[in-house]
Structure 1
Amino acid sequence: MSTDAPATPVQPPAGTPRRRRPSAGGEWLVTAFAVLGALIVGAVLIAVGDARTRAAAGYFFTYPWDTFSNAWYAVRDAYVALLEGAVYSPALSGAGALGPVSETLVNATPLILGGLAVALAFRVGLFNIGAQGQVILGAIAAAWLGFTFDLPVVLHLLVALVGGVLGGALWGGIVGWLKARTGAHEVITTIMLNYVAINLLIFLLGVPGFQRPPYGQAISEQVDASATLPALLGGSLRVHAGLLLALLAALGVHWLFERARLGFRLRAVGANADAARTAGMDVGRLQVVAMGLSGALAGLAGASQVLGVSGSVTGSVAGSIGFDAITVALLGRNNPWGVVGAGLLFGGLRAGGVQMQSATGVPVDLVGVLQALIVLFIAAPALVRAVFRLRAGGRGVGTELAGGWSR
């Protein structure tokens, strides 16, 4: 029988600074101030671009108040117009008062689904840069099923949605299979498959049977009414049931990683693939599953665009959804509900940007600048903490990409 005394924990030398544990609250605080920092820089750009402010700057040292006053009114008017175009405009009444919110939700729906797709892959340690191609494949499959078959209303919609999901899952699964079997890096294969998807779409838009007659324009047949997503707020507003699918998808991703056994295995692979392999997990199979699920979410984003907004496929059906989804995932810190919030923010910026340009003349391109600035500040948390004098404690994007995925 051993009589050894229990081992005494080794204490660090006196004076050694105690390392802070990463704080989720600190991460979200950095995110909030990153958005604020982007708005401040955007305000400077608005002031510089305002003609009256530049004219007043010519006699700044004689009467400086004119410069500051004109800059203030330019920034105020632009941001008020941006807010009114995204949330609520006092000039509108009745059902039209919900128009800005409707447009925000319409723009946010594919961004949420695409952001969830990218975030899911990130959580498993995979870089899904191919959401754009997966969105295109989902749109192609959903549209083809939507205008080719004549089915009952509910069944036709389900078939088209499932087709879009399977189209994206196939495109993502190819990437996972190539990585598992050959070791091909997913960044390279996803980028290359983006080009394949784009050129496949261009080809199909010139094929009779997919292209709409009289075959003079690059546009597909119109999806049947039985396969379209129903409007949520009436026919005059564009927000559709795809928003509910996006919220259900966020709930599903949350459940997957927090409650499901498969989610635990996926997180284990993302944390340390070698350790997961040593524990007996089939890392290759899990990577295929992860990329398939990621592609399925992106495919659902493409299907929601075709079945809920456009009703047909064009060369710009995916827009920049797949690439903006990367930004949404990073801003949401790969958390499903954070992705929902980031998608709503970017959707509001897109919707409000149109109103901002029409009301104040500030180019809608400022929205893209704001998005880029947000990502820049998110990727440089030390800069945000230094500027706004925040205490250290949150992790940045750099550490998340290195393996410390945020829950």
Structure 2
Amino acid sequence: MEKVYSKKVENLSESITIAISTLARELKEQGKDILSFSAGEPDFDTPKVIKDEAIKAMDSGFTKYTAVAGIPDLLKAISLKLERDNNLKYETNEIVVSSGAKHSLYNVFESLINVGDEVIIPSPYWVTYPELVTYCGGKNVFIQTTQENNFKITKEQLRNAITNKTKFLVLTTPSNPTGMVYSKEELEDIADALKDTNIWVISDEIYEKLVYDGKFISTASINSHMLERTITINGLSKSVAMTGWRMGYLATKDKNLRKLIVNLQSQSMSNINSITQKASIAALDGRAETDIENMKIAFKKRRDLACELFSKINGLKVSKPDGAFYLFINCESINKNSMQFCKDLLEREGVAVVPGIGFGMDGYFRFSFATDLDSIKKGIERIYKFCKS
């Protein structure tokens, strides 16, 4: 029997971050001494106030199907959070809750892209963006950033990348993998470049609560035309350590797009976990703010320590990130081939980091400091030994 599979799915690549994390875990299970800095996941437990709400939901029998876009109380909590934290006014019928921010992104890409549409993506980028564009039949247009410019695009670069086929721009702030955060002035420049166009903006703001220097500004809050064109993506995985709960959401002023997304979700996975929805309200309404702040303080200490230690290693160049929990480190003077650098590092020193080639920028690697201080010290000591040899 000849087996023919979907070409769309065959063209997808496995997430390199997940692949590295899986390999590190397998080596550890084999008894090897492995220190992994590859995962994009907080090492903290979900705050108790959130878990208590989940228990209440289970005990009260809240275990049935819900509305596809989310229960009314959760949609209201998201609406209030966006107004309180981000100066954004979205009605509950302009919000959709999905199974993680990645699922929200999939819904948007699938609902917007037609074959041949161009999508502008600054590089380095989160590994999933270009894969989704390709899957949906679009064409990736990458804007190469530089470490000297803090891995951010300029107004001129954006203008030069726009064609009559441009459908949308993907913006991530704070960034994965670089941790850089766009300032209000930089977002205003982007808004100016997009003025008088029909280009959408997908603003992935999943790391917004983890900003250590400066202030987080939501893309859609810049002005009225940015509010109209921007689809805001967010979730609870990073801010309140709810990675396994799978809760993400999007907000858009385009009610027709929202309807298309609800229709797509209704025919694919329906509503997200009912218990997660109830628990998520406590994560959004302010009850978990102390937990969020404590995590942020711990991450900042880790960032500062890691930057200090890496700055002492000859051959590596690190820029201190404004947010998220990653360092994107230049290793070109040791090995421009980031895949080989990371493979050798894992084999010789038992340290797992993610090669920059997976994020569209070779000669770099991503180091996650979402782990304890002792592990960070040990890991960087091993990296120092590796680079010295």
Richer in helix (by share): 1
Richer in strand (by share): 2
Greater relative contact order (CA < 8 Å, ≥ 6 in sequence): 1
State the TM bucket, normalised to the shorter chain.
under 0.3
- Using the size of structure 1 for normalisation, the TM-score is 0.25
The structure with the larger Rg is 1
